[in-house]
Chains A and B, each alone.
Chain A
């Protein structure tokens, strides 16, 4: 007894203390509590989307597990004998029949299917919005570049999870989706046909693909996603969260609420809120009505055959690509010594290039930007999007690029719903997919610069009140109300890099990469708005005449 007290001299006094002591003396954990119990997290609504993604993923795991208990990924033929009348007696695969049983004969099965599919859509959407927030605020900068890469990989894995899941019910819609995938795979030079045969276990559609996608969907991809989420959150803890600039916030501190109790309560409560929203949507809105589409059969197809939104842009690119321009064919028959081989660029190009450009740019962006700016410092303060006009422009261009291609994937629906010609929609979108991002870039950058100027106005001269006042000496002025120092600090505390002048090396020679950097820097920072300086503010206030209502003016106005 005496020896044990020597080991464990700490005597807990409260009940909480006793429990803590029991756990800590066996598995440790005090360190964790010390580290995390009062860790500070900044609070802003735009910081919540990562949480939405995490929570929808948890909902996906819960609802997905339920579904696996009833789903049978077999492509064996069967005749449906469940309770959905318009399909009774129809020949179909066991996978489709079990999906129908989940929908019609398992109590709550339809609800769980809808929860699963709606939260999948929300999961990828939340991922996307979270990444847009990180991009537009510059949160990917050092030291968070690697976490940005992990996040991008998570998005790609999210797409993979979505696509493999979309195909599982083996209905007509997803079957035609697989058929399109098969066509795209076959267009890959040299190995395409082999990959297609290996993927489908022979000729399309075969009897293997659903089972294989199922294993990927419920085992491999979720495991990878979980691992990546672990890495992602681990790095968030190491780096601590970024915060928006503002009074009291610096690059070396974190201002916000402690994990316990406020942040934990909010974050924990938010999980239930997200679940509640998904449940409410699933209660009242149908998603993926597989009973409409019927079983997969290679002969029929439905008008309006599209993938889910996150794959839609690739489908849109496939639609936009012309097979022939004038007399120029995009399908080439190339003569080789051993025979003629076919290269189908009209398929290969749209399937790979847009996605390739987007993901490569996304992954490389942190390094592109730090190369241009030569900025290798740590950044824990975010940029307001307006204060990085070129980056904001690039982001908007990417969003426009994506949206145009998604619109292209909906070209038939645009045609029927706006009573325009399907062909005209395609022609316009072909132009827009090139021009749209450029216009988007220019407009977004101009808007950002204009907002910066507006900020300067407010910092220097105060807020326009809309009150026109006549001064004692007869002049009319609009009363401007100066902002307080906290608000002003928010408006002036940002960096505005200047165009980088190329530096000659020891021999007085300016290298090509220096010149390139300088040119890129000019593109980034040629148009810039500098933050207001204290001396500018003083100058503005002692200005020769009152474009703002100074203290004296206001007194005189008040006395009238």
Chain B
């Protein structure tokens, strides 16, 4: 068996004796002999194929009938089961109707139409003479237009043509307002109560037990004019941890209340809601791109593509024991943008 490697393509050898260049190559033996099909030689097979094709077309008819049956006689009576059944029947009806025709035609083509392969010569896309003539014609056109001889005309035309489309861009200016400082503040304001999402009922500090998480919107958001736009910036996640485990930095000691902290729910990566709170590890996880924030380090990024901590909402408690915001966020929430600074 070792002899099998004899004459095998050892690179150095084959490069030394290349068989390229048309001298030492095999000649094309031409098309292999045609092998007749069963239906070509056996009339019974031919008849059988014919019946099969007809049967397939008949199956298609049945499929169409199934569709009509499902459409008119499987009523949608408010139950999901009925809808699922109708969908299945409509779909299978269509599938049979289509596959019956398709498979039938192809079967017909394969068994009953001629299966001799034919050869056709390729022609050049164009011939050289045409190309030369075309070149000449274009030359004449350019000459007669005089565009080469009159640079003043040419250059002013180019200038005009470059400018002319600009209005088509400018006209889209009113697609939206300018950003202004819209991204730099949110609905939150000093003294505004923290309320439950989506009901909008206020939250008492005593409601927030250790280990719990509240999804929070600002008071009055549900009645706001641009509710969704405001909500897209203002949503907050509220959690209570053991005060010992929080390590507030200087100047932020009073941003929480007795272990209760509120952080923006909008990811600093591309803006998905960072809503997954692991109450034992004190990690927040974004389900879209897995950025992980550590509550014990003021929501510093500990994993994933985000590069900035989640902004914290400073909170306090009012006279009635309800949680309120001390102010708006101290920095823009959500994904970074050029003017963020």
Q: Is there direct touching of A and B in the complex, by C-beta distance under 8 Å?
A: yes
User: What are the residues of chain A within 8 A of B272 when measuring CB–CB?
Assistant: 176, 179-180, 183, 301, 305
List B72-93 residues whose CB lies under 8 Å from chain A.
Answer: 76, 78, 83, 86-92
User: What are the residues of chain B within 8 A of A33 when measuring CB–CB?
Assistant: none
A261→B289 CA distance, assembly (Å): 54
Structural contact, A531 and B19, CB atoms closer than 8 A? yes
User: What are the residues of chain B within 8 A of A318 when measuring CB–CB?
Assistant: 269-270, 289, 305
Structural contact, A532 and B232, CB atoms closer than 8 A? no
A305→B106 CA distance, assembly (Å): 42
User: What are the residues of chain B within 8 A of A239 when measuring CB–CB?
Assistant: 125
A281 to chain B, nearest CB (A): 8
B4 at the A interface (CB under 8 A): yes
User: What are the residues of chain A within 8 A of B198 when measuring CB–CB?
Assistant: 297, 299
**The residue from B8, B29, B287 contacting A302, defined by CB atoms under 8 A apart:** B287
A189 at the B interface (CB under 8 A): yes
Structural contact, A301 and B338, CB atoms closer than 8 A? no
A111 at the B interface (CB under 8 A): yes
Q: Which residue of B lies closest to A274 (CB)?
A: B102
Proximity bits, B288-314, A CB within 8 Å = 1, else 0? 111100000000010111111000000
Structural contact, A299 and B305, CB atoms closer than 8 A? no
A253 to chain B, nearest CB (A): 5
A322→B301 CA distance, assembly (Å): 10
**The residue from A104, A347, A496, A527 contacting B305, defined by CB atoms under 8 A apart:** A347
B167 at the A interface (CB under 8 A): no
Given the interface pairs A248-B31, A301-B288, A303-B287, the reply to whether A261 lies near B113 with Cβ below 8 Å is yes
Structural contact, B122 and A254, CB atoms closer than 8 A? yes
B121 to chain A, nearest CB (A): 5
Structural contact, B90 and A255, CB atoms closer than 8 A? no
B20 to chain A, nearest CB (A): 7
B159 at the A interface (CB under 8 A): no
B259 at the A interface (CB under 8 A): no
A373 at the B interface (CB under 8 A): no
Of B130-138, B139-147, B175-183, B246-254, the segment with at least 4 beta carbons within 8 Å of chain A is B175-183
A65 at the B interface (CB under 8 A): no
User: What are the residues of chain B within 8 A of A40 when measuring CB–CB?
Assistant: 118-120
Structural contact, A453 and B113, CB atoms closer than 8 A? no
User: What are the residues of chain A within 8 A of B193 when measuring CB–CB?
Assistant: none
Q: A: which residues have CB within 8 A of B?
A: 38-40, 83, 85, 104-105, 107-108, 110-111, 114, 143, 176, 179-180, 182-184, 186-194, 196-206, 208, 238-240, 247-258, 261-262, 265-266, 268-277, 279-280, 282-284, 296-305, 315, 318-324, 329-331, 333, 339-344, 346-347, 350, 380, 411-412, 422-423, 426, 452-453, 456-457, 460-461, 478, 485-486, 488-489, 492-493, 495-496, 498, 527-536, 539-540, 543, 545, 547
| 24 examples of A-B residue contacts, CB within 8 angstroms | A107-B76, A110-B83, A143-B125, A179-B272, A183-B335, A187-B336, A189-B338, A198-B175, A198-B176, A205-B229, A238-B125, A257-B118, A276-B102, A315-B289, A318-B269, A318-B289, A319-B289, A322-B305, A341-B339, A423-B303, A456-B9, A457-B4, A529-B14, A534-B25
Q: B: which residues have CB within 8 A of A?
A: 1, 3-4, 6-9, 11, 14-15, 17-20, 24-26, 28-32, 71, 76, 78, 83, 86-92, 94-106, 108-110, 113-115, 117-122, 125, 172-173, 175-179, 182-183, 197-198, 215, 217, 226, 228-229, 231-233, 235, 265-267, 269-273, 275-276, 287-291, 301, 303-308, 334-341
